[in-house]
Amino acid sequence: MRSRVESKALAYNLKDFLANLEKLIRVQEQDSKVAFLMSNVPRTSSSHFLSLMSYRPQNRTENIFKQIILEYMLQAEKTSALSSGIMIRMLIDLCRRNDKLKSIQEKKASIRLEEEVENILSGVQELMSRPNLPVLENFLHKNFHTSVSSLVLESLKIAGPAGKITFDHSNVPQPIIEADTSYVFDIIPDQNLLILNNFEWKKSDVSILCIEGFIEKVSEIDSILTTLAEQKKSAVIICLGYSDEVISTVIANNRRGIFDVMLCKPEEGASAMNDLFDIAAASGSCFYGFQTGTVSIAFKASDLERASEEVVISSDKLRIKNSFSQRAANDRAQKIKKQLGESDLKDDYLKRRITSLTSNHVKIILPESTAQDKFSQIEAIDSALRCSNAITRYGVIDVPKDSIIPCEGRQIASSIYIGCKFGYELFKKISSISHAIVLED
């Protein structure tokens, strides 16, 4: 296989490719779907990303542009839903403006385009407003089928702002929403123990013990470890730190099957103590603090009866499933909410704690159907969920017809901002390419 350096046909191939891409975008903006093969199975989709992935370039040079644009589309959609379409429109518009400005000196043309983009981004920011639930409901009902919007809104209300939502299909007559109470916290697990569990410690019927302090000697928690060995139970010990002696003892006994213990610390810093209290409330477990005396004296075997139904620990997260601690967790979340309003920095920290105490795991069970119907259902629900996430964070904007922003009507604020910003970055990258190495068969 040989290669050649291409330069003369780059602009021509880019123009043709963007023309085809514009047709694709226009079709989907008219509420139409694009048909293509996915693993040799026919599919229809309204996704710009999937449609472009299935597009077969007319030549190798065109394929270079396709791969670059796909990379930016994926980044844009990860940042804010429905932003890739704005990005493509921005790219096409900037390329056309650039062609018209060719008579001007190149430096002046680039400065002028940059100023126009800055004005657009400023215009988006000026139109932004604080998001609220009615705005979200109106947007979903207007842009998605009623069956999708209603299902998503109900799932979001149950899951909370940080809840995990998954999909499944089963032999049910209509969609069902299943939920279990779970709480997610940022955590620092002992890496040695995590490695021994293939980077995920997942157990059922787990006792969680929160200790205010640093565990220096094994003797400090000997009563806990002895009781765990007698009852053959699993437990998570969360404290402000632990020595190598404690780690080595736990590892040795875990390997021998004496008990199954995971050691964790809350995130370091001034928030560590608050996190310990939050975890204790969410798990309904005992808290051993300075006021209760030393752990060896305060601990009782009956403390292990306060077990959570399931505990999952990954590299930086602790997920607790406990259906009996919801009242205590909600009460603590309400107390934290009363502290909001002092400063943006403190509010961000308090909101993170509130989120950890109010999240749930929701599963949407859909009726069994054809492969295409399953694909379309999940695509629509996923799109609605991603839109909801973007709206609850940054709200929507109402773009007037005479605005410099390249769209009109009610739009997701972050999607317009990200689409325009990424479109400009993509334009600069593509415009800077003067030569390409093309492989020949």
- Residue with tokens 């209760």, as numbered in its chain: 292
* Residues paired with 41 in a beta bridge: 38
- Is 223 inside any structural domain? yes
With contact defined as beta carbons under 8 Å apart, do 100 and 112 qualify?
no
Indicate whether 252 and 328 sit together in one domain: yes
What does the block give as tokens for 250? Answer: 């736990």
Helix (H/G/I), strand (E/B), else coil: 319: strand
For residue 72, being part of any structural domain is answered with yes
Pairing type for strands 396-399 and 409-412 reads antiparallel
What local confidence, expressed as pLDDT, does residue 58 receive?
A: 79
Based on the fold, state whether residues 403 and 375 are members of the same structural domain: no
Tokens of 417: 């901002």
Verify that 160 and 191 share a domain, yes or no.
no
CATH code at position 281: 3.50.7.10
Question: 210 lies in a domain?
Answer: yes
Summarize the chain as % helix, strand, coil (round to 5): 55, 20, 25
Do 314 and 405 sit in the same domain of this protein? no
Q: Taken in order 329, 331, 336, 340, is the CA torsion positive or negative?
A: positive
∠225-229-235 over CA atoms, to 5°?
60
| Strands 260-266 vs 234-238: parallel, antiparallel or unpaired | parallel
Q: How far apart are CA 177 and CA 330, in angstroms?
A: 22
Helix, strand, or coil here: 263? strand
Same domain, 241 and 319: yes
Do both 35 and 155 map to the same domain?
A: no
* Residue 19 belongs to domain with CATH number: 1.10.560.10
281 φ, ψ (degrees, to nearest 5): -70, -45
For residues 123 and 140, membership in a common domain is answered with no
- Give a yes or no: residue 362 inside a domain: no
Domain count, the chain: 3
User: What gap in Å lies between CA 230 and CA 254, rounded to an integer?
Assistant: 14
Q: 153 and 240: one domain?
A: no
Query: Contact at 8 Å (CB) between 416 and 86?
Result: yes
Look at residue 116 and tell me if it is in a domain: yes
Q: Average pLDDT per run of 10 along the chain, which is 441 residues long?
A: 63 79 75 66 74 78 84 89 87 81 64 80 82 86 88 83 75 82 87 91 92 90 92 92 93 93 84 87 86 78 88 90 85 87 78 80 83 82 88 85 79 89 88 69 59
pLDDT at position 251:
94
Same-domain status, 191 and 303:
yes
In this structure, is residue 250 part of a structural domain?
yes
Q: Is 29 helix (H, G, I), strand (E, B) or coil?
A: helix
For residue 342, the model assigns a pLDDT of 77
Q: Are residues 296 and 385 in the same domain?
A: no
Containing 382, the helix (H) or strand (E) segment is helix 371-394
> Is residue 357 included in any domain, yes or no?
no
* Residue 260, pLDDT score: 93
Given this model, what pLDDT does residue 264 score? 94
Residues 190, 103, single domain; the answer is: no
* Tokens coding 368: 């069994």
CA–CA dist 337, 347 (Å, integer): 9
Q: Looking at the domain assignment, is residue 360 inside a domain?
A: no
Q: For residue 108, give the H/E element and its range.
A: helix 106-127
d(CA 147, CA 159): 18
Domain with 79, as residue range(s), is 2-129+395-440
65 with 139, same domain: the answer is no
